[in-house]
Chains A and B, each alone.
Chain A
Amino acid sequence: MADTVVYLYALVRPGVVPDLSPLRGVSGTAVRLVRDDRLACLVSDVDEDEFGETALRTNLEDLRWLERAAREHDAVVAAAAREMCTAPLRFATVCRDDASVRARLHVLGPQAAAVLDRIDGCDEWGVKLYADPSSPVPVPAGGSVVDEHGATGSGTAYLMQRRRELADRAFAVEQDARAADDVFAVLAESAVAARRHRLQDPQLSGDQRPMLLNGAFLVRRGDADSFRALVHAVAYGRRSIAAVLTGPWAPYSFASTEQDP
């Protein structure tokens, strides 16, 4: 029989924890709890042949494996977050055994308690903004007028027209970036915390529209409806921007023990 190692999902408070037996974790494993005095951790016993260091390096580059494991990991974290205050751990955190997990919980205790206090009662919402390529390119005030001097076929007129188009497009990009900053600021103000993820590569997302914002917002559960309404309001208030709202997520983006940059 292959050796097992311990896969870690998320940190929770060590008090009363709901029944974990219905949960299935990565590779269909049972989910259980490892406790320290001040902190507990949701874990599974997994096969070292799949989650050991060598195996992980290979598996993380296998898209099918990565997708399945990521979804299984999220299923545990999301289920926990619905029932209790849950601080997700970074994906693919693996320890040798329970003693090793406990030693780390002991060290992490005070910092983790602060994280749990910060995210308590909150969900994460994602707001992605895209430039809408179907919208007309906005023209700067007092901007381009039809060139009446250049005759058709005139090289100079063509170049002037081309230069004007490029300038208009640059103006549009600048406008879009500013609008995304404004939307982020407005939403951040009504959230407990906010951060910007790296813009997604169109090759990864499959969305060819230029991405303007990949935002994450920590929102109190009771404020979710008003936050959603605010996303509607600010998105509809902006010309040429398309918004996509995702969530609620477990508070992944706000479970960092490091200070925000």
Chain B
Amino acid sequence: MTATLEPTSVRNTATSLVDLLDRLLGTGVVLNGDITLSLSGVDLVTIKLNALISSVREAT
């Protein structure tokens, strides 16, 4: 039996940023504000974020 379950409480432990961004950037009611970035803009952000995070990891 190799399966493991690691329950993490969002309230008790640091929520992983990537789990949070899955929800904040990819979901939610879209209300087009005056300054809202377009969906494609947000996709662009996540792609750029990839490069950014890998560069942060390399630097530390």
Which of A17-25, A70-78, A157-165, A166-174 lines the interface with chain B?
A70-78
Which of A51-59, A146-154, A184-192 lines the interface with chain B?
A51-59
Contacts of A134 in B (CB 8 A): 2
Picked from A52, A95, A242, A247, the residue with its CB within 8 Å of the CB of B3 is A242
Interface size class of A (residues with CB under 8 A): 35 or more
Give the number of chain B interface residues (Cβ < 8 Å).
44
Output the least CB separation between B26 and chain A (Å): 6
Using CB atoms, name the residue of chain B closest to A9: B28
Picked from B3, B11, B18, the residue with its CB within 8 Å of the CB of A200 is B18
Complex contact A257–B30 (CB within 8 A): yes
- Mask of B20-34 contacts with A, CB within 8 angstroms, 1/0: 111111111111111
Q: Does A30 contact B (CB under 8 A)?
A: no
Q: Does A84 contact B (CB under 8 A)?
A: no
Q: Does B8 contact A (CB under 8 A)?
A: yes
Complex contact B29–A255 (CB within 8 A): yes
Contacts of B31 in A (CB 8 A): 8, 11, 89-90, 93, 104, 108
Complex contact A197–B33 (CB within 8 A): no
Output the least CB separation between B27 and chain A (Å): 5
Picked from B2, B4, B7, B35, the residue with its CB within 8 Å of the CB of A53 is B35
Q: Does B36 contact A (CB under 8 A)?
A: yes
Contacts of B18 in A (CB 8 A): 200-201, 204-205
Q: A203-B50, A236-B5 are in contact. Are A90 and B19 (CB under 8 A)?
A: no
How many Å lie between the Cα of A255 and that of B32 in the bound state?
A: 15
Contacts of B24 in A (CB 8 A): 70, 73-74, 90-91, 252
Contacts of A5 in B (CB 8 A): 34-35
Q: Does A94 contact B (CB under 8 A)?
A: yes
Picked from B7, B11, B19, B34, the residue with its CB within 8 Å of the CB of A100 is B34
Using CB atoms, name the residue of chain B closest to A257: B29
- Mask of A222-258 contacts with B, CB within 8 angstroms, 1/0: 0000001001100111111111111111001111111
A to B CB contacts below 8 Å, 20 in the list: A11-B29, A52-B35, A61-B49, A63-B52, A66-B21, A70-B20, A91-B24, A132-B3, A203-B50, A203-B53, A203-B57, A204-B18, A204-B21, A206-B57, A214-B22, A236-B1, A247-B10, A249-B10, A252-B27, A253-B23
A contacts, CB < 8 Å to B: 5, 8, 11, 51-53, 56-57, 60-61, 63, 66-67, 70-71, 73-74, 78, 87-96, 100, 104, 108, 112, 115, 124, 126, 128, 132, 134-135, 197-198, 200-201, 203-206, 214, 216, 228, 231-232, 235-249, 252-258
Beyond the given A89-B30, A204-B53, A252-B27, please list 6 additional residue pairs across the A-B interface where CB-CB is below 8 A: A66-B49, A78-B11, A236-B3, A242-B3, A242-B5, A244-B5
The 10 A-B residue pairs with the shortest CB-CB distance, nearest first, are A252-B23, A91-B24, A90-B28, A94-B35, A135-B2, A96-B34, A95-B33, A204-B18, A253-B27, A93-B33
